[in-house]
Amino acid sequence: MADTTPNATPSVAYQNWAARQGRARRKVIVGRLLLLLGFLALWEYAPRNGMVNPMLTSYPSAVWDGFWDLIAQGKLGLHIGVTLMEVMISFAIAMILGTVIAICLWLSPMLERVLDPFLVVLNALPKIALVPIFYIWLGPTGSIYAVAIAVALFITILMLYTGFNQSDPNKIKLAKTLGAGQVQILTKVILPGNVHTFMATLKANVGLSLVGVIVGEFQASKAGLGYLIVYGSQIFRMDMVMAAIVILSLISVGIYLVVQKAEALLTR
């Protein structure tokens, strides 16, 4: 029997395009690495040659030594674990609560009209101003979660509600024509049509939840990376402070990559 499988060999034009795309990606990666290495080299050179005070800025080799010093003390894992737990719990609560409130606002235009100015004001309010109040009300541990949730919650509500309102009106009209109710439109049109809005909100909340947790730890915590930053600054151990900041950066990148991978899977 003759082979009827179509020829799957890419065309020359496609191969050239793929090669150009590959070269562009490699250039971007090389550019990022060069920028990072240049920054680290300048950071190492300037304090060692008296251009800046090393007590105020530290330098990469000292930060590396400080990182291993924290590991040798046996408490770095505890501090990272505490911060990660606080971030994940705050992140989950802000997303779930924000989604529920955004859905309620979409289902009830009257409720949205009543709450809209309050949501705008609360979103614009500097959340750091609430830290002492949360500390008095909720104590040292509860205040950390409260600040992190407050930082992420209102932007979650506004982003999701805006996305719901910008859904394709033709699809909504078609669903109504076919006899769909509000709940059916929500579950069959609005929510599936706003997957990208959900993912954008998740990406934004990763950083916001981490910021809220660190701000809360500055005020009240006895463990966590925010505590390490405050403690290191109090004893003028900038290597400890910078090591904690580097770890926070790596945590942010790690969580962001997880969300990005989830977005790719959902989109597919």
pLDDT of residue 4: 53
Please report, as a single letter, which amino acid is at residue 177.
T
Q: How far apart are CA 29 and CA 234, in angstroms?
A: 38
pLDDT tens per residue across all 268 residues of the chain:
455 555 567 788 888 888 888 888 899 999 989 998 998 889 888 888 878 777 777 778 888 887 888 788 777 888 888 888 888 899 899 989 999 999 888 888 888 888 888 888 888 888 778 888 888 888 888 888 888 888 888 888 888 888 888 888 888 888 888 887 778 888 888 888 888 888 888 888 888 888 888 888 887 777 788 888 888 888 778 888 888 888 888 888 888 888 888 877 877 6
Closest CA to 205 of 118, 92, 102, 80: 92
| Confidence at residue 211, expressed as pLDDT on a 0 to 100 scale | 85
Whole-number pLDDT of residue 6: 54
Give the pLDDT score at 74: 76
Domain map (residue ranges) of the chain: 72-267
Q: What is the mean pLDDT of the chain?
A: 83
Looking at residue 236, its amino acid is F
pLDDT score for 31: 92
pLDDT for 35 equals 92
Q: What is the pLDDT of residue 167?
A: 81
What are the residue ranges of helices labelled H in the chain?
Answer: 12-48, 54-57, 60-73, 76-107, 109-124, 131-165, 169-177, 182-185, 195-220, 225-234, 238-267
Instruction: Quote the tokens at residue 45.
Output: 């050179």
Q: What is the DSSP letter of 6?
A: P
* CATH code, residues 72-267: 1.10.3720.10
Q: What is the pLDDT of residue 34?
A: 93
Amino acid at 79: H
**242-263 confidence digits (pLDDT tens):** 888 888 888 888 888 888 888 7
Two structure tokens written together for 29: 């990666």
Q: pTM for this one?
A: 0.77
Token pair of 174 as six digits: 């078609």
- What is the full DSSP assignment across 137-173? HHHHHHHHHHHHHHHHHHHHHHHHHHHHHTS-HHHHH
pLDDT of residue 51: 82
